[in-house]
């Protein structure tokens, strides 16, 4: 069966949260392609997908670089569609001396052949040189999460561990840029009855370093949660922590907090401050800064609920305008 799609969103092996949100916002199929290195079967697989969906526009999740190369090959062979490169910061960073760099650095020059480059924030403009005329900043379309679950939504959270306690959530993907060990140890040394909840499947190496705090009971690991329970967990929290060691990366957890209008405790990093502005309380990586930030946020929850609501409305309008421009490409 041949379909006629305006957009398709393509991801190689791993699908990012952003790609899911983008596909929802564009009302388009999200297609996950499985292909191991050296990706020799990518071109025939992509050819079959293009033949089936007949899209006018193909959004490619980057990294990794071979995906971009293969889509451009298919476009050269069959034509009929525009290529939109959704370039995560990881596509631009990393040297040729690392596996990550090898999968991306040789392919960055191919951006000159795409029809549009999507940047995740203004800071990423510094990576694309003279290609700014074909680039557009598109913040994650977080608004599709709005209303997914309310404060009293149905969910199967463990009431014994969470329901009777105040808690904050630090949503993590267990990536190296996340200061998980530091946050957990710092929280364990703060006198508070509020529990710290970490989501996702733990990295074994990090887990060994923080397990003593988990055993004390003031740090809870949820493991994998389905999407309904995950958003329910966030919606019922006191506030959300979003933290990274990278100044270039925005965090999915910040967008989720914007969607659910939850106060944010954020690391004092450039990309987060660029997007969140004064709607969050920021901390540096020292204990005193974190303690002060927690106190300010807890003492002014209503103020920061109002600020995050205002910023959510502003940013939603910006993103909707960008989505409209994308559809008009």
Residue-wise pLDDT for 120-137, tens only, equals 999 999 999 889 999 999
pLDDT at 117: 97
Q: Which two tokens stand for residue 1?
A: 């069966």
User: Taking CA 220 as the corner, what is the angle to CA 215 and CA 221, rounded to the nearest 5 degrees?
Assistant: 105
Same fold, 7-138 and 144-315: yes
SS3 307: helix
pLDDT of residue 156: 61
Give percent of the chain with pLDDT exceeding 70: 91
Instruction: Report the Cα–Cα distance between both ends of the chain, in Å, rounded.
Output: 26
Does the structure show a pLDDT above 90 at 306?
yes
Sheet holding 280-283, edge to edge: 219-221, 195-198, 167-170, 240-242, 264-267, 280-283
According to CATH, the superfamily of the domain at 7-138 is: Glycogen Phosphorylase B; (3.40.50.2000)
What is the spatial distance between Cα 180 and Cα 174, in angstroms, rounded to a whole number?
A: 8
Are 58 and 84 spatial neighbours (Cβ–Cβ below 8 Å)? yes
CB-neighbour burial class of residue 133 (10 A; exposed 0-12, middle 13-18, buried 19+) = exposed
Rg (CA), the chain: 21
Residues 312, 276 contacting (CB under 8 angstroms): no
Predicted local distance difference test score (pLDDT) of residue 42: 97
Residues 83, 88: Cα–Cα separation, whole Å: 16
User: In the chain, where are the structural domains located?
Assistant: 7-138, 144-315
* 144-315 under CATH 3.40.50.2000, yes or no: yes
52-104: per-residue pLDDT in tens?
A: 999 999 999 998 999 999 999 999 999 899 999 999 988 988 665 566 667 88
- pLDDT bucket at 239, cuts 50 / 70 / 90: very high
Number of H helices, E strands in the chain: 12, 12
Instruction: Answer for the pair 231, 208: CB distance below 8 angstroms, yes or no.
Output: no
Q: 3-state DSSP call for residue 57?
A: strand
The residue among 275, 287, 303 whose CA lies nearest residue 142 is 275
Rounded Cα distance between 278 and 293, Å, is: 13
Q: What is the mean pLDDT of the chain?
A: 90
pLDDT in tens, 253-284: 999 999 999 999 999 999 999 999 999 999 99
Range with lowest mean pLDDT among 19-28, 149-158, 256-265 = 149-158
């Amino acid at each position: 069966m041949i379909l006629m799609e305006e957009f398709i969103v393509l991801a190689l092996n791993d699908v990012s949260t952003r790609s899911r949100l983008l596909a929802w916002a564009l009302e388009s199929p999200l297609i996950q392609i499985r292909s191991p290195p050296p990706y020799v079967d990518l071109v025939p697989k992509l050819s079959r997908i293009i033949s089936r969906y007949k899209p006018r526009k193909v959004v490619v999740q980057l990294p990794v670089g071979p995906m971009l190369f293969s889509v451009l090959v298919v476009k050269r062979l069959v034509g009929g569609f525009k290529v939109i490169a959704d370039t995560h910061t990881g596509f631009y960073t990393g040297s040729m001396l690392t596996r990550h760099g090898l999968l991306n650095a040789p392919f960055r020059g191919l951006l000159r052949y795409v029809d549009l480059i999507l940047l995740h924030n203004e800071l990423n403009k510094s990576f694309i040189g003279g290609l700014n005329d074909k680039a557009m900043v598109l913040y994650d379309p977080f608004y599709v999460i709005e209303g997914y679950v309310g404060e009293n939504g149905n969910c199967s959270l463990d009431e014994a561990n969470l329901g009777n306690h105040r808690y904050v959530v630090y949503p993590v993907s267990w990536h190296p840029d996340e200061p998980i060990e530091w946050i957990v140890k710092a929280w364990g040394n703060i006198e508070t009855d509020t529990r710290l909840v970490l989501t996702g499947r733990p990295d074994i190496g990090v887990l060994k370093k923080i397990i003593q705090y988990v055993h004390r009971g003031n740090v809870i690991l949820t493991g994998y949660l389905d999407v309904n329970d995950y958003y329910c967990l966030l919606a019922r929290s006191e506030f959300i922590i979003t933290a990274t060691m990278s100044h270039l990366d925005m965090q999915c957890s910040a967008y989720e907090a914007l969607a659910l209008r939850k106060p944010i405790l954020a690391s004092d990093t450039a990309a987060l401050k660029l997007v969140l502005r004064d709607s969050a309380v920021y901390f540096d990586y020292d204990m005193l800064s974190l303690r002060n930030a927690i106190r300010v946020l807890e003492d002014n929850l209503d103020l920061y609920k109002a600020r995050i609501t205002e910023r959510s409305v502003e940013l939603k309008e910006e993103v909707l305008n960008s989505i409209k421009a994308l559809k008009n490409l």
